[in-house]
């Protein structure tokens, strides 16, 4: 049975159709990139898919959903807010438990945020914030990862590390991306959208960035 299934799905907003007539099957274990111009409907499609499998998926939305006045540690800890009782959570909010810090340390080390563990999010750069949000998803430890442009503000060298982290930690990965090179390099299936329509669905293997120019032309 497939993991996710859309059958001739259309999404309208204020009379405009944002997605029209999308049919899509996604199997467990797939690594997928949604590509296309901004406004093509990538985010809407991603959200639609996330809604179907919310319970065992983690999400890094485009606006990241971080709590700016809390530390990196607390924001990452939030990924497992459901795993502990209320009192444990509240005590950890006031004074972090050593056990929790030890669990989160390897994650921030991988993401290159070690020195920022207890800095509040509002002191971080855009790339650091993005990595914090990814850290939260990694800590949550779901099978499926959804990311809306998860590495758009991360510099190129780190982007590779982060993409590796995401792929290693999750069985199924679904990303919307504008960097076609990263998309080809780290996924095995490309889904192209144009004007809300599904115009491309192909294995990533053997694709070149220039093959996708058609998607980005007017």
Partner 1 sequence: MLRATLVFAAIAALLTFIADLEITTIEPWGELGRMVVGAVTPDFFATESLGAAIANTVAFAILGVALGNFAGFLLALIFHYRSVRAGCAFIRAVHELFWALIFLQIFGLSPLTGILALAIPYAGIFAKVYSEILEESDPAPLKSIPAGAGKISIFMFARLPDAWVHFKTYSLYRLECGLRSSAVLGFVGLPTIGFHLESAFSQGHYSEVAALLLLFYIIIATIRTWLRKRLVPLYILAALLVIPWGGGIDASHIVRFITEDIVPHPLRVADSFDAATWASFAAWLKTMVVDQALPGIVSTLVLTQIALVGAGALTLLFFPLVSPKFFGRFGRTAGHIFLVVARSTPEYIMALVFLLLWGPSMLPAIVALSLHNGAIIGHLIGRHTEFLKIRPDAPGGINLYAYDVLPRMYRQFLAFLFYRWEVIMRETAILGILGIATLGFYIDNAFADLRFDRAMFLIVITALLNLGIDALSRRIRKYLRLQTRTEEL
Min. distance of Cβ 172 from partner 1 in angstroms?
A: 17
Q: Whose Cβ is closer to partner 1: residue 130's or residue 180's?
A: 130
Q: Whose Cβ is closer to partner 1: residue 74's or residue 194's?
A: 74
Burial level of 156, CB count in 10 A (0-12/13-18/19+)?
A: exposed
In the numeric block, which tokens belong to residue 136?
A: 């939260």
Give the 3-state secondary structure of residue 138.
Answer: helix
Min. distance of Cβ 49 from partner 1 in angstroms?
A: 14
Min. distance of Cβ 177 from partner 1 in angstroms?
A: 19
Min. distance of Cβ 152 from partner 1 in angstroms?
A: 16
Min. distance of Cβ 21 from partner 1 in angstroms?
A: 27
d(CA 21, CA 166): 30
Nearest to 111 by CA among 64, 148, 164: 164
In the numeric block, which tokens belong to residue 214?
A: 């058609």
Sites of contact with partner 1 (CB under 8 A)? 54-55, 58-61, 63-70, 74, 78-86, 89-90, 93, 133, 136-137, 140
Q: Whose Cβ is closer to partner 1: residue 120's or residue 161's?
A: 120
Q: Whose Cβ is closer to partner 1: residue 69's or residue 217's?
A: 69
d(CA 141, CA 122): 25
CB 16 within 8 A of CB 159: no
Q: Whose Cβ is closer to partner 1: residue 19's or residue 64's?
A: 64
Min. distance of Cβ 139 from partner 1 in angstroms?
A: 10
User: What are the contacts of 19-24 at 24+ separation with CB within 8 A?
Assistant: 19/44, 19/45, 19/48, 19/196, 20/196, 20/197, 21/197, 21/198, 22/197, 22/198, 23/198, 24/191, 24/198, 24/201
Q: Whose Cβ is closer to partner 1: residue 94's or residue 99's?
A: 94
């Amino acid at each position: 049975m497939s993991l996710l299934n859309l059958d001739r799905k259309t999404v309208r907003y204020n009379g405009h159709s944002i997605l029209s007539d999308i049919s899509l099957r996604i199997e467990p274990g797939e690594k997928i990139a949604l590509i296309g111009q901004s406004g093509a409907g990538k985010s809407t499609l991603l959200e639609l898919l996330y809604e179907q499998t919310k319970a065992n998926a983690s999400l890094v939305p485009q606006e990241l959903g971080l709590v700016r006045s809390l530390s990196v540690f607390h924001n990452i800890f939030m990924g497992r807010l459901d795993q502990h009782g209320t009192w444990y959570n509240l005590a950890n909010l006031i004074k972090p438990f050593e056990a929790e810090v030890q669990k989160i340390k390897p994650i921030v080390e991988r993401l290159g945020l070690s020195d920022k563990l207890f800095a509040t999010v509002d002191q971080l750069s855009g790339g650091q914030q993005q990595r914090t949000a990814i850290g939260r998803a990694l800590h949550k430890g779901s099978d499926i990862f959804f990311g809306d442009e998860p590495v758009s503000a991360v510099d190129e060298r780190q982007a590779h590390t982060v993409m590796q982290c995401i792929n290693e930690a999750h069985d199924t990965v679904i990303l919307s991306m504008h960097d076609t090179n990263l998309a080809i390099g780290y996924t095995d299936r490309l889904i192209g959208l144009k004007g809300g329509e599904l115009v491309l669905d192909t294995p990533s293997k053997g694709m070149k960035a220039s093959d996708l120019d058609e998607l980005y032309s007017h």
